[in-house]
Amino acid sequence: MSSSGQTGFLFFFLDSVEYKERLIASVKKEVKQLMEEAVTRKFVHEESGSVTSLCAAVEACLSQGLRRRALGLFKTSSTTALLHKVAKHCPEAAYISRKVQDIENTDPNKRSSSSSDSTNKPPILKKNSSNSVTTVSGPPAQPTVKYLWIRLALYEKRLAKIIEHLVTNATRYYERDSLVADPDYGSILSSLLVGPCALDYSRAKTPDHYWTDPHADELVQRHRISSGNPTPPTCRRPILNFKRSLHTSSEEASTGSFKSSTSVTAKDYVESLHQNSRVTLLYGKNNILVLPKDVSEQMPGYLSIHQTAQSLTVKWTPNQLMNGYTECEVTDKSSYWAYALNINVDEIVYVHCHQIRGEDTGGTIIFVGQDGVQHPPILFPEGGHMAAFLSCLETGLLPHGQLDPPLWSTRGIGKIFPWPAKGRRRLLSSVLETNEDHPIDYVFRVVNKGNHADFLATHQIMETGRTSPRRTQLSSCSTNESSDCSSKSMSLDQSLPDTPQVGANQTASIALVCSTMRRQIISRAFYGWLAYCRHLSTVRTHLIGLVNGRITPEAGAEGGLTKERWESLNADGVVSDDKEVYRLVYYGGVEHEIRKEVWPYLLGHYSFGSTPEERHELDEAARHYYETTMGEWLAVEAIVRQRDKEKTAHAVAKLSSESGSGGDKTKGVDVDAEMENDVFEDNDFSDISDPVDYDVEKKEEVPAEEMKKPTRANKSSTDSGNVPDEDIKNNEDGQDDNDAEMNPEEIPKEKDNDAEMRNVSNQNAINGIELELKENCFGENDGVAAATTTGGKENVSNKSSPTTSSYETVGNEFIDTNDMNNGERLNNMKLPEFQSVDDIQMELTEYEDDAGATSAQGMDHDEQHLQQFTASSPRASVIVTKASIDVANFDKEEEEDEKTAVMSPVKEEANGNALDALQEPKSACVSPASSNGGVYSCQLLENFGLNLHRIEKDVQRCDRNYWYFANENLDKLRNVICTYIWEHLDIGYMQGMCDLVAPLLVIFDDESLSYSCFCHLMERMIQNFPSGSAMDMHFSNMRSLIQILDSELYDLMHAHGDYTHFYFCYRWFLLDFKRELVYADVFSTWEVIWAAKYTASSHFVLFLALALLETYRDIILSNSMDFTDVIKFFNEMAERHNTASVLKLARSLVLQLQTIIENK
Amino acid sequence: MASRKKSLLKVIILGDSSVGKTSLMNQYVNKRFSNQYKATIGADFLTKEVVVDDRVVTMQIWDTAGQERFQSLGVAFYRGADCCVLVFDVTAPNTFKNLDSWRDEFLIQASPRDPEHFPFVVLGNKVDLENRAVSQKRAQQWCQLKNDIPYFETSAKEGINVEYAFQTIAKNALAQEAEVELYNEFPDQIRLNADRNNRPRNADNCQC
């Protein structure tokens, strides 16, 4: 690229022009790209491709037409030699040149060892990105750094100046027709680079993080290093800084963690001159002359008015500081910063306008601040610019302020202030008017309508950033409050003459000034006090509910609730001193061994003062309730499973009938699955089905397993077989085989599951009997209802002898579900043969035993027979009965043959037909009930089914890497959640509930106790879920709290994309920090939250969230994190927090808020 | 015409719970598969630099909660998305069925400028599993109906097609950028050339 420059002068003139144009165009393109990158990210990475290409483009421009020969630049083809050459005359170049030499002189091998100046990137970065956290470990030196000096100059923000120097002295270094020497291109080149030179190039990163933002760990680490303070930053910093917003405190704020440096200020300043999302540019005019203090002649500059939400600012920037200023030789520009004007209109009391009458000479405006100090005069050129400026100013003041008198007066003949229109002027009496030849002066008072007072009075104080003074720190040295008060005080003085400096009677005017000052001082003090009071009252009304009125003192509670203490409190088995328990837990947590005993108290399951007997009773009742409830939903679960399976079967049938000829897929399994899908597409209630293979397997294996271990209690063999049952069973078994073949490893799990179900059913025995009686009556009354039959049967199983019951429960449920279809069929057929429920029960049990004896596979065959049979002659149950017997016998022979058989298409077809014959299976939703003796509505089944599938998906994924849940305990989790959902079907399962149950289960290792405690826990937590309103309340409380307790952080959050919606705290609140902390910490945090309700605050989670934020506040601030950064940071920090210190901080935050509220 | 390019692409992954959104994201970004992921609560994102058409862009991939009840939270996260990835589980037909509502919900909540042409990509995940229930044909049909959404069959576990799918996602998101630009002409196209020809000197002074 560089060699092309040497041949540049050989081109024809036109070619050369074209070439230059191309060069400059490429620079433009790269600059644009870079600037865009800077807009979308917070900073541009040093190694970014756009930086490199920009450097390349600049290099190309610089080497074009370079007088290498004359300058003796032979040794290199790059322009580095040029830099060294220029260094003699240009300080910037000298600086860069030195840097380059430093780097080049350093042996690359040594670089990695030295941490400071020898590496190329980190030292530079340390200098420039003043508010970034520096690293100790810089990136390893780049093997080859292309365009090194241009790069460095860009990072150091000196490139534009060097180029500028080259351009102004082009004749010395360049051919006459070179790009740099070209009057147009040269200046364009240098001005193009001003923008990129204003950017911050990325902060130091390790090689792994070149492209992504550093990991949270890295940030924490860096912060630890840079702050040189291993303790959490919050410990050394007073958080209680709400007073800042009331009194002038910008210095304090700015020294907090922002080390403001000139380079940043300059950059921000230049950027602030442009319109952006937060600042509206109301007025802009270049070449306005100003006579700064200590300067003998007027200087041209850029005058502008900027409006932000809080303030109106008038800025004037000398041309020397503006982009592209090339007229004078490069000198030290920094001195010009002193001349720049930056006037906050809030602080301005008077605007003086001077104009020579009769000549349209423009005019002069002088701002007079509330302290009486005049700002340098601003001279407007002719052409109505002053009028335009003033009207813009007035617009900017609206709606809360205005110029007095208004520019466009409502009284008199209209316009007061039409400068260009001569002669028609009417001045206020207070304005001095002299004769034609003398200057005319106008004085306007800047009146603030006291909007701040209204503003403070409303509770909106929490919602906006008005109370934050620091945001305006660059533009104003005083805070809103003070300016606020002063402007209000001025508006009190309406009756005073407007022009104190003009007066016929000097004594009078001095007296006037004195009285004005006195009033000002008094009123300022008054308004300051008033604002403070209002602020506090707002705080109180809003936040008083967040802490308890009286916070239990800590004294002696640091140790927490130890075993000894608990034993002493629990001496006679009765714990009556609840206050002491709460206090100890709040300040020190519970010793792990006794959590199981203490938590039920904390959660409200046991009441304090209860006797051991009472508690025992309570537990028993809870267990009984839990088991009953579980029995109910287990029955429904079986129905749901069955329905799922029917759909599958239906689908399979459809598949085989459809694809009998087509055979589109290779594997049988595949085909099945696809067809199934198609069917679901057509099926209305596929919502429930959701047949993830796991579910299907699970469902089907339950019965299968049970069947395989028959208890043989009722071993009577009656001949009256039951069609429906058989039918179903066959169906089921067929599926079972299939699944079992595919996933044999699932079986053991199911066994455990079954075992539990068995227990439950045993315990339900008594329950079952009662219900059964009911059922029986029902059944006898209505011979038609197969549904009833099955319902009754279920109960029988529950009550019958302990040995059999388990088997039967499951088996029956399984049958229940099947009966949906069959029951319906029976309904249609109106079979009168079933005389009594009892008969049927007998038959069923017997049949089951048979089935258990024979292998499941054998049933396939039965089924075929049966189904074909039923399909063809669906009338006579007697025949069917016989068939069943036949089949049973037949089974034993066929058993072996069928064992490995995959469902044959024939069978599927038959099955499908049978189902089709049933018409709409939906009507079968009048399905057999179990223990509650009723009929489940279709809706209920669907609803529960849907929840069931969701629960299963989440339970499987819940903390499976935690030791406790490595085994069948996940099933316990599932049971607890299902029971809860069964009792709260209106709420339904929502993601996150698993996480809330898990810690309870780990502690109690007891389903019913966990369930009861979970119910208590959910009383509060359910409000956080999407159906409740607590989450929004948390967010808004967080907003208020952080404004009060750490307004600096609030300002940052507000300024960086405004994430004061606090969505990043969502998971914290939803799960009570369960996902943020490791298990041990979850325990200790949860119990503190529970105890806090009675000792300090029922919204302790808020303070925990605040404590988490505060713990990392300095990192958040120093990295100027936006919403995404914060989300990423906290997600990455999950389970890495120092919980003990967070808890401690949270407790101290509660105290702080209480102190504020009490106004001590 | 130099297209306005932005180097951050925001990609939202949507789909029913446990279809593998988190796994896909992690497989793509970290080249890892873990069977330890929990149900996502709230939202998380990962970033990855990709090179598309010789341009380096940062992909910010947002992983969301799968339960539709949590969608109310979506607005905060969907805003400004450049591409939306709809994921379903090829072994669970319902997750496929729900793509419709996910798509609609996204369009409502994110309200992109040009909903008709907003880039979606559909991923049928878990193709490594045996018990497939949604055929490729079926998924493709659906995608064709919805304005020719690109469809990929992926396996986050085996890493099948993941890289390729996300490359396409990045490409489509970028293409969308360019297209959107054509639609609404941004006023920020400063004609530097014109400046130079007309009044090259004044360009330096005009600060307005």
Domain ranges of chain B: 4-187
Query: E strand or H helix at B9, and its extent?
Result: strand B8-14
Note the pLDDT tens digit of each residue in A659-686: 444 434 333 344 343 444 443 443 333 3
Sign of CA dihedral A615, A975, A1006, A758: positive
Phi, psi of B23 (to 5 degrees): -65, -45
Q: A962 to chain B nearest CA, in Å?
A: 10
**Domain boundaries for CATH 2.30.29.230 within chain A:** 266-323+336-411+439-449
**Taking CB atoms and an 8 Å limit, are A676 and B133 in contact across chains?**
yes
Confidence (pLDDT) at A1157: 81
Say if the Cβ atoms of B203 and A690 lie within 8 Å.
no
Q: Is A953 within 8 Å of B134 when comparing Cβ atoms?
A: no
Query: What is the architecture, at CATH level 2, of domain B4-187?
Result: 3-Layer(aba) Sandwich (3.40)
Give yes or no for residue A690 having a pLDDT over 70: no
Q: Is residue A409 scored above 90 in pLDDT? A: no
Q: Which residues of A touch B205 (CB under 8 A)?
A: 286-287, 319, 324
pLDDT for A32 = 81
Using CB atoms, pick whichever of B94, B192, B204 lies closest to residue A326.
Answer: B204
Give the best residue of B204, B206, B208 to mutate against chain A (max A CB count within 10 A).
B204
Segment A1090-1115 shows an average pLDDT of 93
Question: Measured between beta carbons, which residues in chain A are less than 8 angstroms from residue B82?
Answer: none
Report which DSSP code applies to A773: H
Check CB contact under 8 Å for A681 and B93.
yes
CB pairs under 8 A between A and B: 174
Taking a contact as any Cβ pair under 8 Å apart, which residues of chain B between 16 and 35 contact chain A? 17-18, 35
Interface test with B, best of A271, A305, A643, A957 (most B CBs within 10 A): A957
- Inter-chain residue contact A677 with B133, CB threshold 8 Å: yes
Q: Which of B38, B50, B52, B142 to mutate to test the interface with A (most CBs of A within 10 A)?
A: B38
pLDDT above 80 (res A505) = no
Integer Cα distance of A1083 and A1079 in angstroms = 6
CA distance B115 to chain A (A): 23
Report whether A546 contacts A552 (CB < 8 A): no
Higher pLDDT, A1150 or A373: A1150
Query: Does residue A744 have a pLDDT over 70?
Result: no
**Token code pair at residue A960:** 């499976």
All residues of chain B having their beta carbon less than 8 Å from the beta carbon of residue A693 are 91, 129, 131
Span A506-545, pLDDT tens digits: 888 889 999 999 999 999 999 888 887 877 777 777 788 8
**Is the pLDDT at A909 greater than 60, yes or no?**
no
> CB distance A957–B18 less than 8 Å?
yes
Model pLDDT, residue A355: 75
Q: Does residue A786 register a pLDDT over 60?
A: no
How large is the average pLDDT for residues A364-381? 83
Between positions 88 and 127 of B, the ones with CB within 8 A of A are 89, 91-94, 96-97
Mean model confidence pLDDT for chain B: 82
Q: With CB atoms and an 8 Å threshold, state whether B39 touches A992.
A: yes
User: Coil, strand, or helix at residue A444?
Assistant: strand
pLDDT surpasses 80 at B103: yes
> Highest mean pLDDT: which of A229-238, A880-889, A919-928, A1002-1011?
A1002-1011
Q: Is A153 helix (H, G, I), strand (E, B) or coil?
A: helix
User: HEC profile for A232-273?
Assistant: CHHHHCCCCCHHHHCCCCHHHHHHCCCCCCHHHHHHHHHHHC
Indicate the residue of A36, A324, A680 with minimum beta-carbon distance to B5: A36
Q: What residues does CATH 1.20.58.900 cover in chain A?
A: 9-66+76-113+145-204
pLDDT at A181: 81
- Average confidence (pLDDT) over B33-57: 88
Per-residue pLDDT averaged across A859-867, rounded? 44
**DSSP summary character for residue A1120:** T
A11-46 pLDDT, tens digit per residue, is 445 567 788 888 888 888 888 877 776 665 556 667
The pLDDT assigned to A383 comes to 75
User: A887-900: per-residue pLDDT in tens?
Assistant: 334 444 444 444 43
Which whole number is the average pLDDT over A484-490?
39
Q: Give B40 to chain A, closest Cα distance, Å.
A: 8
Residues 45-74 of B with CB under 8 A from A: 45, 47-49, 55-56, 58, 60, 65-67, 69-70, 72-73
Mark yes or no for CB contact A991/B38 under 8 Å. Answer: no
Confidence of residue A982 (pLDDT cuts 50, 70, 90): very high
* B69 with A954: Cβ contact below 8 A: no
ipTM: 0.85
| Closest chain B residue by Cα to residue A22 | B193
Q: Quick check: A669 and B67 CB within 8 A? A: no
d(CA A988, CA A950): 10
Q: With CB atoms and an 8 Å threshold, state whether B73 touches A1066.
A: yes
Locus of tokens 């509206």:
A280
Highest mean pLDDT among A493-497, A903-907, A1008-1012: A1008-1012
Q: Contacts of residue A276 in chain B, CB cutoff 8 Å?
A: none
Q: Is residue B164 pLDDT above 70, yes or no?
A: yes
The reported pLDDT for the residue numbered B6 is 57
Between A613 and A932, the higher pLDDT residue: A613
Residue of B nearest to A1124 (CA): B45
Q: Which residues of chain A have a CB within 8 Å of the CB of B39?
A: 953-954, 957-958, 991-992, 994
Say if residue A412 is exposed, middle or buried (CB neighbours under 10 Å; 0-12, 13-18, 19+): exposed
- Selection from A102-111, A425-434, A781-790, A1035-1044 with the highest mean pLDDT: A1035-1044
- Spell out the residues 6+ positions from residue A198 whose beta carbon is closer than 8 angstroms to its own: A157, A267, A270, A271
Highest mean pLDDT among A571-575, A781-785, A971-975, B41-45: A971-975
Q: What average pLDDT score do residues B114-130 get?
A: 92
Record: contact B42-A1067, CB cut-off 8 A: yes
Contact: A954, B18; criterion CB under 8 Å: yes
Average pLDDT over residues A429-440: 44
Q: A104 pLDDT exceeds 80?
A: no
Q: What is the pLDDT, as a whole number, of residue A1148?
A: 93
Query: What's the rounded Cα separation, in Å, for the pair A440 and A432?
Result: 7
Instruction: Give me the CATH topology for the region A9-66+76-113+145-204.
Output: Methane Monooxygenase Hydroxylase; Chain G, domain 1 (1.20.58)
Nearest to A960 among B36, B93, B133 (CB): B36
Residue A981's pLDDT band (boundaries 50, 70, 90)? very high
Q: Which residue has the higher pLDDT, A345 or A453?
A: A345
CB–CB of B42 and A691 under 8 A? no
pTM metric for this prediction: 0.52
Asked if B97's CB is within 8 angstroms of A681's CB, the reply is: yes
Query: What is the pLDDT at residue A275?
Result: 63
Nearest CA in chain B to A738: B131
For helices A786-799 and A765-781, angle between their N-to-C axes, nearest 10 degrees: 160
CB contact under 8 A, B130 and A692: no
Q: Which residues does chain A have within 8 Å of residue B200's beta carbon, measured at their own beta carbons?
A: 183-184, 187-188
Residue in chain B closest to A950 (alpha carbons) equals B17
Mean of pLDDT values over B166-184: 76
Q: Which residues of chain B does A1027 touch, with a Cβ-Cβ cutoff of 8 Å?
A: 69
**B142-201 residues touching A, CB cutoff 8 A:** 192-193, 196, 200-201
pLDDT at A1017: 95
Question: Does the beta-carbon distance from B41 to A287 stay under 8 Å?
Answer: no
Classify A304 as helix, strand or coil: strand
Of A686, A693, A957, the CB nearest to B97: A686
Q: What is the DSSP string of A352-415?
A: EEEEETTS---EEEEEEETTSPBPPPEEEPTTTHHHHHHHHHHHHHTTTEEEES-SB-SSTTSB
What is the location of CATH 1.10.8 in chain A? 611-647+934-1010
For the segment A808-852, what is each residue's pLDDT rounded down to a tens digit?
333 344 444 344 444 444 444 443 443 444 444 444 444 444 444
Query: What is the average pLDDT value for chain A, to the nearest integer?
Result: 66
CA distance A73 to chain B (A): 32
Contact A1067 B6 (CB under 8 A): no
Q: From the list B36, B77, B93, which residue is nearest A686 (CB)?
A: B93
Q: Nearest-CA residue of chain A relative to B94?
A: A690
Q: Categorize the per-residue pLDDT at A97 as very low, low, confident or very high, splitting at 50, 70 and 90.
A: confident
**CA nearest to A924, candidates A907, A910, A941:** A941
The answer to whether the beta carbons of residues B52 and B170 sit under 8 Å apart is yes
Which chain A residues contact residue B45 at CB under 8 A? 1124, 1127-1128
Tell me which of A307-316, A730-739, A965-974, A1052-1061 is least confident: A730-739
Q: Report how far residue A215's alpha carbon sits from residue B47's, in angstroms, rounded to the nearest whole number.
A: 11
| Separation CA A840–CA A779 (nearest Å) | 10
Lowest mean pLDDT among A572-581, A810-819, A1141-1150: A810-819
The percentage of chain A sitting over the pLDDT mark of 90, rounded to a whole number, equals: 19
* pLDDT at residue A769 tops 90: no
Cα separations (Å) of A1055 from A470, A910, A1121?
11, 69, 10
Q: Residue range A223-245: average pLDDT?
A: 45
CATH architecture assignment, domain A611-647+934-1010: Orthogonal Bundle (1.10)
B97/B83 Cα distance (integer angstroms) = 20
Architecture of domain A266-323+336-411+439-449: Roll (2.30)
- Using an 8 Å CB-CB cutoff, list chain A residues near B202: none
Provide mean pLDDT across the span A254-283: 56
Chosen for mutation from A321, A991, A1031 (greatest number of chain B CBs closer than 10 Å) is A991
